[in-house]
A and B are shown apart, each in its own frame.
Chain A
Amino acid sequence: MEAKNAKAASTSHFSKWWKDFGHQWQLQTMAIPGIIYMIIFSFIPIYGLVIAFKNYTVIDTIDGAQWVGLENFRIIMEDKYFWESVINTLGISGLKLAFGFVLPIIIAVMIYELRDSVFKRVIQTISYLPHFLSWIILGGMIITWFSSNGMINELLNFIGIQTKQNHMLDVSKYWWIASLSDVWKEAGWGTILYLATMSKIDPTYYEAAKMDGASRLRQIWSITIPMIRNIISLNLILSVSGLFNSNLDQTLVLMNSQNQPKAEVINSYVYRVGLMQGNFSYATAVGLGISIISVILLVLTNIITKKLNDNQSVL
């Protein structure tokens, strides 16, 4: 009896739901195309990740390909070129983190200390600009600056170091060029969130600190930095979890046959093995493995910063 009632209730609930759905048909015609789009362009490729566990070739369908279990992952473990690309990715990301993480904080504090002036706006406009250049444009510029008779060599000659070297062909300099050019491009843009947070700091804090005789540096250390701490932790989590991310645009334009041993990163390796050599399953396995490691890193860094931040998660 009770079961019957419950069933009747759920049917009527269900039919009411359908009725409401029908009344909303106009709104639904706005939502459903987007949903179908997401199924096709996001969920089907996510399903396509199964080829990492298969031996897929161009003549197969994704479902028809033969299962090979973890075979692809076993080959990855022994793949010398893969590990080389991992080391390059971590090297470049590590340098990027070392310089690119602190610099926007310093620049934001310096711009904030200008208070309000025309100079402040001019500096902001100029420093955001490189963010809007594509990596192809910037890559072309970098190759020009570092070429044998480019700007860098002219500057070196000017300070007395005679050189005619094309630095792009020097394999030992690639990590530095790749990471520092990224810092150059994004340092200014990276200040925006910090500046926005600083603009909400109550100015009376600074007045009180000044009354107590705190120097400007002391004010920055004791007021400004603590107020932006959350954004700093958030950015740190994102940068650390992005250690395995590599910049394919940048690599494709800056890599050449000379610097390749130090320039090949995970993404460009996936691109080369997957799309150039047609080894679809293997390249997908590489991509999937790296994504999983990145998620683990994200969770780990979140736990660590939570501990440091009095158990408050910033994510």
Chain B
Amino acid sequence: MKKSSLSLAKPKSNVVQDKDSKIFNFVNILLLLVFTIVIIVPVWNIVASSFASSDALAKGDFVFWPSEIATDNYRKVLGDASMWQALLISIGKTAIGVFAHTAFCAIMAYALSKRNLKGRGLYSTMGIITMFFSGGMIPTYLLIKSLNLLNTFWVYIIPALLSYYDVIILMNFFRDVPTSLEESAKIDGASDWGVFLKIFMPLSKPALATIALFHGVWQWNDFMTTKLYVTERALYPLQMKLYEIITQSQAASQQGLNAAVEISTTSKGVQLATIVVTTVPILIIYPLLQRHFISGMMLGAVKE
């Protein structure tokens, strides 16, 4: 009797649960769609507006799809020689910076991954101190100045060579490499540098790629280094170029004069096209390498 009432009750509650579950799924998907739209639509608005003519921009119709595709803005941006110069600096600092940073961190991480390294306790304590304490903006500026790095290309590379955070990630990765590989290479007469370059580097490609990717995005996006240490316009990267265009058109729009309005709509188009040009490399790279970004995020988080 008792048993049968249970078996009767169960299907009923399942039906209720299924209905409850369906409503839940529907609301859940609906809310996530709203969230996705809130992210995509504003970005799409920028891309679409960058293809609008300056007349359309001045009228300010909400552009999801420009009435006619005008490439004037892009022609202006790509016709500017200083833009190409900035692109060159951006690519140069990203490429050299990524290579130098990854190599420098990997070398130090390899030494620190050896538990019998003499002085290891001191070295890692110093490293951890650099993660939590810094001199801040002004003392760092005074150092960069006294090293004569102001207004040089190397100010993009040298102060960003080492991150102890990245060293820890690589160190943990190196420790998981089987010691037997190293021992047999040592028997064959390989040196520490030889083992590092010939065995550990090829085996650590995933970890190295992750560090390289994050540093690459940072280098490409970094504008503060330029703002703080570089006044020489020939050394401006794209981000700084964009910053300049934005602040100029902001200043023009604040004056509120009719003459200024015209200047500001022209420069608005240029600004939009520059935004898109500066973002495109990241938009191309990011979806392809998303997996690595996430695994890198996890690598760092697990070791926190």
Nearest A residue to B45, CB-CB: A151
| Segment touching A, from B91-99, B105-113, B175-183 | B105-113
Partner of B32, one of A21, A43, A110: A110
Given contacts A26-B193, A283-B138, list 9 more A-B pairs with CB under 8 A.
A34-B107, A39-B126, A123-B35, A127-B36, A134-B220, A137-B279, A149-B58, A275-B138, A287-B138
Given A26-B192, A48-B139, A137-B242, verify A184-B38 contact (CB < 8 Å).
yes
Given A35-B126, A127-B36, A136-B242, verify A49-B286 contact (CB < 8 Å).
no
In the complex, B81 has a CB within 8 A of chain A: no
Contacts of A188-234 to chain B: CB distance below 8 A: 188, 192-193, 196, 210, 213, 215-217
Given A137-B242, A155-B62, verify A27-B111 contact (CB < 8 Å).
yes
Contact with A along B247-279 (1 / 0, CB 8 A): 100110110000000000000100110110011
Given A46-B133, A275-B228, verify A129-B138 contact (CB < 8 Å).
no
Given A132-B282, A288-B136, verify A123-B32 contact (CB < 8 Å).
yes
In the complex the two chains form, is B107's CB within 8 Å of A253's CB? no
In the complex, A111 has a CB within 8 A of chain B: yes
Whole-angstrom distance between the alpha carbons of A279 and B175 in the complex? 47
Partner of A21, one of B118, B162, B250, B268: B118
Min CB–CB distance A259 → chain B (angstroms): 11
In the complex the two chains form, is A274's CB within 8 Å of B45's CB? no
A169 contact set on B, CB distance < 8 A: 254
In the complex the two chains form, is B162's CB within 8 Å of A48's CB? no
Q: Which of A26, A126, A134, A158 has the most CB of B within 10 A?
A: A134
B275 contact set on A, CB distance < 8 A: 137, 140-141
Whole-angstrom distance between the alpha carbons of A144 and B193 in the complex? 53
A165 contact set on B, CB distance < 8 A: none
Nearest A residue to B120, CB-CB: A31
Partner of A111, one of B32, B104, B119, B191: B32
In the complex, B8 has a CB within 8 A of chain A: no
Contact with B along A109-151 (1 / 0, CB 8 A): 0110110000100110111111011111101110111011111
Interface SS of B by simple majority: helix
Whole-angstrom distance between the alpha carbons of A252 and B227 in the complex? 10
B147 contact set on A, CB distance < 8 A: 40
Min CB–CB distance A209 → chain B (angstroms): 11
Interface size for B (C-beta < 8 A) is 98
In the complex, A45 has a CB within 8 A of chain B: yes
Partner of A125, one of B135, B227, B290: B290
Contacts of B207-256 to chain A: CB distance below 8 A: 217, 220-224, 227-228, 239, 242-243, 245-247, 250-251, 253-254
Min CB–CB distance B225 → chain A (angstroms): 11
A44 contact set on B, CB distance < 8 A: 135, 139, 143
In the complex, B43 has a CB within 8 A of chain A: yes
Given A126-B40, A127-B35, A210-B17, verify A37-B161 contact (CB < 8 Å).
yes
- Top 9 A-B residue pairs of the complex, sorted by shortest distance between their CB atoms: A149-B60, A45-B135, A48-B139, A34-B108, A134-B221, A154-B62, A31-B111, A26-B192, A30-B111
Whole-angstrom distance between the alpha carbons of A168 and B230 in the complex? 28
Whole-angstrom distance between the alpha carbons of A44 and B136 in the complex? 11
Contact with A along B184-219 (1 / 0, CB 8 A): 000000011100100000000000000000000100
Interface size for A (C-beta < 8 A) is 94
Given A215-B20, A257-B254, A287-B138, verify A38-B38 contact (CB < 8 Å).
no
A31 contact set on B, CB distance < 8 A: 108, 111-112, 117, 119, 123
In the complex the two chains form, is A144's CB within 8 Å of B46's CB? yes
In the complex the two chains form, is B60's CB within 8 Å of A150's CB? yes
Given A28-B111, A46-B139, A270-B138, verify A114-B28 contact (CB < 8 Å).
yes
In the complex, A258 has a CB within 8 A of chain B: yes
In the complex the two chains form, is B217's CB within 8 Å of A280's CB? no
Nearest B residue to A133, CB-CB: B279
Partner of B130, one of A38, A123, A270, A288: A38
In the complex, B297 has a CB within 8 A of chain A: yes
Min CB–CB distance B140 → chain A (angstroms): 5
In the complex, B24 has a CB within 8 A of chain A: yes
Contact with A along B56-80 (1 / 0, CB 8 A): 0111111000000000000000000
Nearest A residue to B41, CB-CB: A151
B40 contact set on A, CB distance < 8 A: 126
Whole-angstrom distance between the alpha carbons of A40 and B159 in the complex? 10
In the complex, A95 has a CB within 8 A of chain B: no
In the complex the two chains form, is B136's CB within 8 Å of A45's CB? yes
Min CB–CB distance A289 → chain B (angstroms): 11
In the complex the two chains form, is B42's CB within 8 Å of A137's CB? no
A24 contact set on B, CB distance < 8 A: 116-118, 192
Given A113-B28, A136-B239, A271-B137, verify A184-B39 contact (CB < 8 Å).
yes
Partner of B21, one of A48, A137, A192, A216: A216
Nearest B residue to A149, CB-CB: B60
In the complex, A239 has a CB within 8 A of chain B: no
In the complex the two chains form, is B17's CB within 8 Å of A215's CB? yes
In the complex the two chains form, is A107's CB within 8 Å of B35's CB? yes
In the complex, B7 has a CB within 8 A of chain A: no
In the complex, B167 has a CB within 8 A of chain A: yes
In the complex, B134 has a CB within 8 A of chain A: yes
In the complex, B13 has a CB within 8 A of chain A: yes
In the complex, A17 has a CB within 8 A of chain B: yes
